[in-house]
Amino acid sequence: MIILLHLLLLTVAPFLLLCAGLNHSGDDSETFLINAIVGKNNISTAECWAIEPGFQISNVARTVGDQVLALGNISNSVMIIIPDDNGMPNNGGLHNGAHAQWVFALTGGVNVSFPQAPGGFSVGAGGLFISSDILGTSTFGHQSIWAAGSRFIQAPFPGGVVVNHTVVAEHACEER
């Protein structure tokens, strides 16, 4: 687990500023926008969330002045490797999220679409999103098509309680 967390921090942390939008809020924090897959009225769709609190300026030794974002608690994380034998993308078919969780794309990338709702989004290497359309919240779920050879981490929220956030838009976040 320690190796996995170390890999996660070394691989994902440098990309946090690149893979989601930052909005200046006029104080010492920055808003972190992220695409979230949600289940509402038994339909999976995308929302744009602002994680709360946003980035804070660190006062901890060796990171003083750096921007830090609290990801909340996570538990039982797993790393998944999509085979790249034939170079074909992996179509996971329609499915619900296994857990309410962060999903970190370490390499490769994913296209997410919805069978019952318009829109979708893509996440490339170094990007992340939240999946929370677990069984009971959506009838058909969503579709994830991962690039061949993708590596990603699923990091569930303990007890299914997602990180603090505000819904900014009832669709995917705008590309930045």
How distant, in Å, are the alpha carbons of 45, 116, 148, 168, 176 from that of 17?
A: 24, 31, 25, 18, 11
pLDDT in tens, 117-155: 999 999 999 999 999 999 999 999 999 999 999 999 999
**Between 111 and 10, where is the model more confident?**
111
The amino acid that residue 22 corresponds to is: L
Architecture of the domain defined by 2-167: Sandwich (2.60)
Predicted TM-score (pTM) of the model is: 0.82
